[in-house]
Amino acid sequence: MPTGEIDTYILIQPDDIHLNQDYGSGIASLENGEKIRISFDKQGTIAKKCAQDARPIFVQISGVLDYINEARNEFSFNPYAYWRSRGIVHRLHIKKEYVWGYAKPRSFIELISWTIHSFHFELVNWFERLPKGMRDYGETLLLGYTRSEFYIENDGIQLLGLMHLFSISGFQVTIVYQLWRRLSRQLFIQREHSLVIVQFMLIVLWVFAGGVQSLIRPIFLGISQAWRDLHWIVIDAKDAWGLALIGGLIIEPGVLHNFGGQLSYLLTFGLLWLQDRPAWLQSIWLSTFILPTLLWHTFSWHLISLLANLLIVPIFVWLIIPVIIFGIFATICHFAWLQDICEWIINLMQLCIKFGAKIPGECLFGRPSIIFCIVLTILPLIWLITCKKRLLFLILVCCYAILWGMPRFFPGGFVAFFDVGQGDTTILRPSHNQVTLIDVGGKIRFSKHDQTKKNTRNYQVEELIHFLKGHAINRIQQLILTHKDIDHIGNVSDFLEQIDVTKIYVPAGMEHQPSFKKCVAKYVRSGGKVYPVLAGLHVTKDIQVCHPIIKGIGENDDSIAVYIDFKKLKLMMTGDLSKKGEIDIINNFYLPQVDILKFGHHGSKTSTDEMFVKQLRPKIGIVSAGINNRYGHPNKETMMTAKNHHLKVYSTAKKGMIKAKWGLLNCYQIYYRHKLKH
């Protein structure tokens, strides 16, 4: 389908729409049946109708159709890959809405599907009126609907490896299957009829939950179990698992690209070989079996995650799910005392998970190589059939020790020019125990609603932390904030809350600015130090400050400029320093040739003076700028200067994150996120 400006009709299911602070987003269908991602103004007709009515609507719109974005930084969530695995590749930004009306189903199956969607929408709205704990757990566990702030407010869930409990999946299907089988016996429904009905119930459950990938495997297994009980097919459990895998790949070809899909199939495959083993051994073995997959996606493992799963999984099955159901019953019957008890139990569980996440013991591995993941997944399977279990256990321990040590002790380093849009962030890591971050990015927020920061996700900081953890970095030794502009330091408060920073360096005079002091107040209260710097200071043995010459207030012309010499790579970085400041540097310092010059002020014509470039004689120029930015960065004049001096220029706007990497024996090489256009 051609991209660009389009006028078309779209079909929208209200339960596929999410409304945020200032805009709405979700999934819609074009006239040809293709599903797309949409975004629209929260004040428009679509938002109002989807908030009030469960019926599908048909809307005539005009907007811009484009491909869904690729990930622009290493280890970042890849929207294009995720949505492509669900059969969606386009996104539509709606500019105008002309005509709307209620859609009419074109077939009986469509009528059933739409009715289920409408019922799901009404249930979500009803759950929104429940007390906070029951609302969050009920929507997530029973409806397959996750609020946008759920994992922010319950941040211990991922750290303790409990995310599988909060995606509607295997155990919900098992509950539906077993409850119906017991109920049908009590109602004296014939066994054959009961088994046919349960298959339709499982399909309805899948539609009801929005067709989530994590349900494909358990529903196929449930249906195959019903067929086996009906004697329609004669297969064992392993064949049933294989059929479920084939069926899942037919319905959702990208199911194994998804973290939830990988865990679902791995866990059930492992259980096939453990049916005669005690429960404690099953839990330990399965945790070991899926650990490489967890490390690939999350980069870390918590020492108490195994214990947490041993204790919390049965508690969820036998206590939390029944408590939610009793709480719903109490709400319907207006038993306030029972509702309060149920809410108290859920709040207690939330507190226990938060407390467990704060216990020290997170082991950060970084992202392992795919070969390591395959080997470490196969070894537990070999352990089941070998007689030399102790030897294999020692091999496993040694492999994980090597995996943990590789990012820490393997020689080599990198410099990463992180893509934060129209902002600036650079990570310098010549060795594991010496990590320097220059600026943290940020953007001016034009929110119409004054929301508290803790309820607002900072995606730039999340991406940056994810990248650092992917390289097994959990501490920054030096944080250099070049000047006080929002696009350079706007994220500093959120960043300091999520990772340890030993020292902060700022241009002399900026440390007294009220806006900056407010940003780092919590860090300073906890014992952190802020150091003002002037030209001549060495931040480390490899990083020399060349500007500011005199004390200022943190403006562009007060920017910190640093000369960096990592032996195999030499760089010059100047923040938003103007040409006058660049001339001051070459008048006060003799600087040898550098390999990389990071253009000042995002490639603006106010920076990158001809004399400055001539003095440094760089081979490569780096521009940190946003896609289609309003300032036209990098400026044509700057690019002409680069051309005159034969620089090869890389821009984050075109390439995404740019990384200069070197090893023990080889010189640096440039890597970038090149696949940004389709």
Tell me: the pLDDT tens digits for 485-538? Answer: 999 999 999 999 999 999 999 999 999 999 999 999 999 999 999 999 999 999
Count of beta carbons in the 10 Å neighbourhood of residue 16: 20
Residue type, 293: T
Find out if CATH 3.60.15.10 is the number for domain 413-443+457-672.
yes
Residue type, 522: K
pLDDT for position 444: 64
- Residues 344 and 338: their CA atoms lie apart, in Å, by 10
pLDDT for position 279: 78
Chain segment 586-603, per-residue pLDDT in tens:
999 988 999 999 999 999
pLDDT for position 451: 44
pLDDT for position 676: 44
pLDDT for position 450: 43
pLDDT for position 1: 66
* 139-177 per-residue burial string, b: 16 or more CB within 10 A, e: under 16: bbbbbbbeeeebbeebebbbbbbbbbbbbbbbbbbeebb
Q: Which residues contact 36 (CB under 8 A, 6 or more apart)?
A: 10, 27, 28, 29, 30, 65, 88, 90, 91, 92
pLDDT at 448 exceeding the cut of 60: no
**In 300-433, beta strands by DSSP E:** 300-302, 362-364, 413-417, 426-431
Q: What is the share, in percent, of the chain residues with pLDDT greater than 90? A: 52
pLDDT for position 622: 96
Q: What angle do CA 262, 168, 242 make, to 5 degrees?
A: 40
pLDDT for position 102: 86
Residue of 661, 561, 541 lying closest to 601 (CA atoms): 561
pLDDT for position 664: 80
Q: Are 136 and 324 in contact (CB under 8 A)?
A: no
Element (H, E) at 540: strand 538-540
pLDDT for position 531: 96
Residue 452 pLDDT grade (very low, low, confident, very high; cuts 50, 70, 90): very low
Residue whose entry in the numeric block shows the structure tokens 């969606």: 88
Q: What is the share, in percent, of the chain residues with pLDDT greater than 70? A: 96
**Range picked from 17-31, 324-338, 449-463 for highest mean pLDDT:** 324-338
Residue of 140, 154, 44, 50 lying closest to 96 (CA atoms): 44
Element (H, E) at 476: strand 475-480
115: three-class secondary structure by DSSP: helix
Give the mean model confidence (pLDDT) for residues 121-131.
Answer: 89
Return the minimum-mean-pLDDT range out of 208-222, 288-302, 497-511.
Answer: 208-222
**In 137-269, beta strands by DSSP E:** none
pLDDT at 74 exceeding the cut of 50: yes
Element (H, E) at 501: strand 500-507
| pTM, 2 dp | 0.88
pLDDT at 38 exceeding the cut of 80: yes
**Range picked from 87-101, 103-117, 297-311, 612-626 for highest mean pLDDT:** 612-626
Chain segment 312-360, per-residue pLDDT in tens:
878 887 888 899 999 999 999 999 999 999 999 999 999 988 888 888 8
| Total residue count of the chain as it appears in this document | 678
Report CA 629 to chain centroid distance, whole Å: 24
Return the minimum-mean-pLDDT range out of 172-186, 449-463, 661-675.
Answer: 449-463
Which pair of tokens denotes residue 99?
A: 């005509």
DSSP label at residue 353? H
Q: Are 103 and 39 in contact (CB under 8 A)?
A: no
Give the mean model confidence (pLDDT) for residues 641-667.
Answer: 92
Q: What angle do CA 178, 181, 185 make, to 5 degrees?
A: 140
pLDDT at 453 exceeding the cut of 50: no
Q: Which residues contact 665 (CB under 8 A, 6 or more apart)?
A: none
DSSP label at residue 506? E
pLDDT at 362 exceeding the cut of 90: no
- Residues 480 and 76: their CA atoms lie apart, in Å, by 23
Count of beta carbons in the 10 Å neighbourhood of residue 409: 11
Element (H, E) at 93: strand 90-102
Mean pLDDT computed over every residue of the chain: 88
- Residues 585 and 312: their CA atoms lie apart, in Å, by 60
Residue 678 pLDDT grade (very low, low, confident, very high; cuts 50, 70, 90): very low
Q: CB-based burial of residue 195 (10 Å sphere; 0-12 exposed, 13-18 middle, 19+ buried)?
A: buried
Return the minimum-mean-pLDDT range out of 439-448, 503-512, 564-573, 598-607.
Answer: 439-448
pLDDT for position 483: 95
Residue 213 pLDDT grade (very low, low, confident, very high; cuts 50, 70, 90): low
Range 4-104: architecture per CATH: Beta Barrel (2.40)
**Range picked from 134-138, 301-305, 308-312 for highest mean pLDDT:** 134-138
pLDDT for position 596: 97
Return the minimum-mean-pLDDT range out of 178-182, 232-236, 258-262.
Answer: 258-262
pLDDT for position 661: 94
Return the minimum-mean-pLDDT range out of 7-21, 145-159, 341-355, 587-601.
Answer: 145-159
Residue of 581, 583, 531 lying closest to 556 (CA atoms): 581
Rama region for 6: left / alpha / beta (φ>0; ψ in -120 to 50; rest): beta
- Residues 160 and 303: their CA atoms lie apart, in Å, by 9
